[in-house]
Structure 1
Amino acid sequence: MTSPLSITDPDTIQGLLQDALDLRAKFIISLTREQGSRFDVSGMLREIRDRNLTVEVSGLSANPKSWVGQVVTCYFKVRDNSRKADIFYNFPSPVLDAAASRFDFNLILKRPVGLDIGQRRSSIRLDPASGDILNFSLWEDGKMVFRCPEAGRAKLRPPMVGGQHFEQGLVTIQDVSAGGIRMRLAAKLLKDISAETLSKGEIPAAEGKPVGPAAWTKGARLVVWIVLSEQADNGHQVFWLKGRISYRREDYLNKDVEFGLEITHHGKNDQSGKTAWTPVRENDVLELGTWVYQRYLERFRRGIA
């Protein structure tokens, strides 16, 4: 069964494979293991035959004979001159044989009768369009809840970065992927939060040293609440995510700061109403990756991906 983004014309498939061969395009070969985890290796298309392809793969310590009979997914990209963009393609294929090559190993794959457009979900970075993100809040991990004696239970603290900041454009989401978020915080927001934090006495004042987001560095742990639009039914999805900052970059002209957040845990409410945090495997939050992939396909159909 094919999708609107599937290619089945033999001449078109031949042309794309030939382009990948001629341009020495990088192939990613993804194998799903028995326990559900993925194993990826990179390679290069070496030969196109009537019934099979030869892909030379690198980075393996032993002959991948155990792969024979298993189905892998192959990803590659080719330049589309009409769109002036790189287009990603993928196809599933059984491994027919494996043998040592001059330097690495060759996988013999069944030649595809169809190609799907799209890259690995975990690799897609989506620049959200207007209306894609409905709300956004941010806390420092460990400072999200407090014990309320009057209520006799834990309560949620106001976020350090909240919906009002998002609405005012003081925090913007640069891109979203299955395993991360890139955000930009305005210099004014950093300054305001630092002043407010010091005024409340939440952090001891240290002369000349920033506090709050202005002090976040690589490795700092955060909690994110993000609401994403579901355009198909005018609904929305809510995500609770924990992560650590993977990089920090300051704009030296306007002093805005960009943060990259690697998602480490995905939170869902259990039967008691408490949030249960599940570690993220292979940088892929399934539901978030699905949302990103669907937006990517919608844009591609409209010719703007």
Structure 2
Amino acid sequence: MRSVLSDILDQRAKLRLTFDSRITSLRELSGALTGANASGLTVEISALKSASASWVGMSVSCYFRVRDRENPAFSHFYTFASRIESTQVAPNGLVLFTLSQPQTVEHAQQRRSVRVSADQNRIPALVVWRELSPGANVSGTPPLFRNEDRAQGKLRVDNISTCGLRLIVQNAALSEIGLKPTVGESYSFYFKTVEAQEDMEKTFLVNAVLRNLFYDPQAGETALGFEFTAEGALNKDKRLVWTPLRASEATGLNAFIFKWNLLDFYKEKRVDEGVLG
């Protein structure tokens, strides 16, 4: 982890900080790592003019890209979870966040497409299985989670892109089914997308690999970040056939993401008008 943080400093790599939408309407900020030691990480946030104590204690997920040391043409994408420990304004007027030292730094999905929020209006149906094998009887295979579990608050789709999605699952729900997710495992998803304004509707059956995981005992939940790897269809015998994704993007999902991103853009407030300025 220390070498990765050193790479961020040496390359002046940009950090993308994302926040829980339940806590603040501000979803993302860009920052630059200016210092790292045993007490935490110092991140410079140029987009903010000020930072009140409201930020302190807030959980944050950080994403960044660094160039490979031996082959600079190749990049690595990483993520880590942290918490804002303090804020201050430097003499030059720039806002500084002090983040807690992350426990781990993990490989992250390359964010080739924008992520958007995904409530039950946008994704009214969701089913999750352990990875379904080719030839599986989909309807006859018991899932880990059904749509009813979302209605009961056991899990929710936090965000989605054409390349993957992020689930927030209650820790009690994981314990209830004896599930201990591990990065690198694959899962299968069925979900339905709806965009009422455009009269758009489509169903998806995809395989996805778990790329990152953040267990939060205080909130009582676990965040699971998945990257899509294949899409499924049923053959004439009603058996499952998987096809690897082209460019790692689920076919037909881009139209929904594009529309939702536009809608969200016009709903969001400017940073300097937010309640956490």
**TM-score normalised to structure 2 length:** 0.52
**Equivalent residue number for residue 261 of structure 2:** 296
- Please list the CA deviations of residues 150-202 of structure 1 after superposition, one character each: whole Å capped at 9, or x if unmatched: xxxx85222111111111121111110011111011012112112xxxxxxxx
- Residue pair 1:122, 1:289 contacting (<8 A) in 2 also: no
- Residue pair 1:230, 1:236 contacting (<8 A) in 2 also: yes
**Equivalent residue number for residue 252 of structure 1:** 217
Of 242, 259, 269, the match for 2:207: 242
User: What are structure 1's unaligned runs of at least 5 residues?
Assistant: 1-25, 27-78, 82-103, 105-120, 148-153, 195-211
Q: Structure 2: how far apart are the matches of 1:131 and 1:219?
A: 30
**Equivalent residue number for residue 140 of structure 2:** 156
Of 104, 116, 128, the match for 2:118: 128
1:138 and 2:128 are equivalent in the alignment: yes
- Residue pair 2:129, 2:189 contacting (<8 A) in 1 also: yes
**Equivalent residue number for residue 184 of structure 1:** 168
1:172 and 2:166 are equivalent in the alignment: no
TM-fit CA distance, 1:276 = 3.0
**Equivalent residue number for residue 267 of structure 1:** 232
The letter for the 2-side match of 1:156 is: G
Q: Structure 1: how far apart are the matches of 2:232 and 2:195?
A: 20
State the structure with more CA Rg: 1
Q: What is the DSSP-based 3-state SS (H/G/I as helix, E as strand, rest coil) of the residue aligned with 2:177?
A: helix
Percent identity, aligned pairs only, is: 19
TM-fit CA distance, 1:128 = 1.6
- Residue pair 2:206, 2:231 contacting (<8 A) in 1 also: yes
Q: What is the DSSP-based 3-state SS (H/G/I as helix, E as strand, rest coil) of the residue aligned with 1:133?
A: coil
Report the count of equivalent residues: 169
Pick closer, same or farther for the CA change 1:130–1:165 going to 2, 3 Å. Answer: closer
- Residue pair 1:122, 1:284 contacting (<8 A) in 2 also: no
Of 251, 259, 269, the match for 1:286: 251
User: What are structure 2's unaligned runs of at least 5 residues?
Assistant: 1-13, 15-46, 50-72, 74-110, 271-277
- Please list the CA deviations of residues 17-71 of structure 1 after superposition, one character each: whole Å capped at 9, or x if unmatched: xxxxxxxxx9xxxxxxxxxxxxxxxxxxxxxxxxxxxxxxxxxxxxxxxxxxxxx
Paired residues for 1:81-230 under 5 Å: 122-142=112-132, 156-194=140-178, 212=179, 215-230=180-195
Runs of 4+, deviation exceeding 2 Å: 142-147, 232-236, 268-276, 298-305
- Residue pair 2:163, 2:248 contacting (<8 A) in 1 also: yes
**Equivalent residue number for residue 7 of structure 1:** none
The letter for the 1-side match of 2:175 is: K
Paired residues for 1:60-75 under 5 Å: none
Pick closer, same or farther for the CA change 1:144–1:155 going to 2, 3 Å. Answer: farther
Q: Structure 2: how far apart are the matches of 1:251 and 1:135?
A: 26
Q: What is the DSSP-based 3-state SS (H/G/I as helix, E as strand, rest coil) of the residue aligned with 2:211?
A: strand
TM-fit CA distance, 1:220 = 0.7
**TM-score normalised to structure 1 length:** 0.48
Q: Larger relative CO (CA 8 A, sep 6+): 1 or 2?
A: 2
TM-fit CA distance, 1:245 = 0.4
